[in-house]
Structure 1
Amino acid sequence: MNRAASLRDELENTYRSHRQGLFSLAMSITGCRQSAEDAVHSAFERLCRSTRPDGDVVNYVFAAVRNAARDALRSNQRAAKSRESIFNGAVSDGTETTDPASDVLNAERDQILRAAMEDLGDDAREVVVMKIFAELTFDAIGEVLNQPAKTVATRYRRALIRLEEKLRGQL
């Protein structure tokens, strides 16, 4: 098997294993479902044309998606007008409902969570998304962000404290 085919296989496996985390990261940056999907697609398109990275492919892919999402945000300021919750379905208990009251409560919960996440700031929000939704380790997140793992862990703990303070009594 040649190196290009091997890289494509690794990228395919990475996408299959981490697609929700990759999308959640892009969504947390762009704030727009379409822009997040485009960023993930753009990142993989670029990665397929590149050579195999020296380090962990998973971390490299997360860094590429993060960069693509930031590029999309910079080039498309309409993202602020079309904010969607990264929590849609992510914190659901898995049951479908046709109860309008439940739908209203779920929408309200999503809005509260989205506002709390947006208040964190970009750096803290990215760490929380990569840790919770992508289930990356602090070492992996540190590699993606080009920061020490201890800094990432501290940022994560502080973000959780801020979220807890902000959400106390609201959910």
Structure 2
Amino acid sequence: MTQDKRPGTLVKFLIFLFFLIVAFLVYSFAIGRQPPVGEGEVTVVTALTGGEKIYHTGERPFVFPFIQKSYMLRTGAMVVSLVDDEGMSLPKKGKKETRIESRVTYKIDDVQKALNSFGLKDTHREIRRRIKEAVARSLKDKVTGIETIDKAEKRIPLIADIHIGLIETFKKDGLKILSYQIRFR
């Protein structure tokens, strides 16, 4: 009598497959458990299907390896300084040109709006780029018609106008502009 060796091979294969699945699940739970989200941060977990879930301070996200990816965003106060080469020069008649240096402090107020506006990859770099563009555009628009900005009565309304403009521009993008400072050299 000859026995068919296939059932034994199939059982061994199923046992191997079972242990492989168990090993993957143990690996997933060991690797997928992320540390709690810190103060002033959020973690965004995205899936291959395009869905996303936002975890706030104290929450502990879980990420399935190869299926999901996590991104950390700072929601606390961040500073964009536009100085030196990033600043703006203002020509003056018969005098040395005036350098205008700016400093914008912002924070992400609405994470979902910020993700929709700036994306997940290099979010803060994109925010910085857009703030720089907005400040440069505002300064060019507001300063072009002014003959001199040496006096405080010219500077204060200029600073207020730019600050209000930045607040209105970035509110729809989920950013809160905390302060705008300007320095003339």
Which one has the bigger helix percentage?
1
Q: TM-score, normalized by length of structure 2?
A: 0.27
Q: TM-score, normalized by length of structure 1?
A: 0.29
Which one has the bigger strand percentage?
2
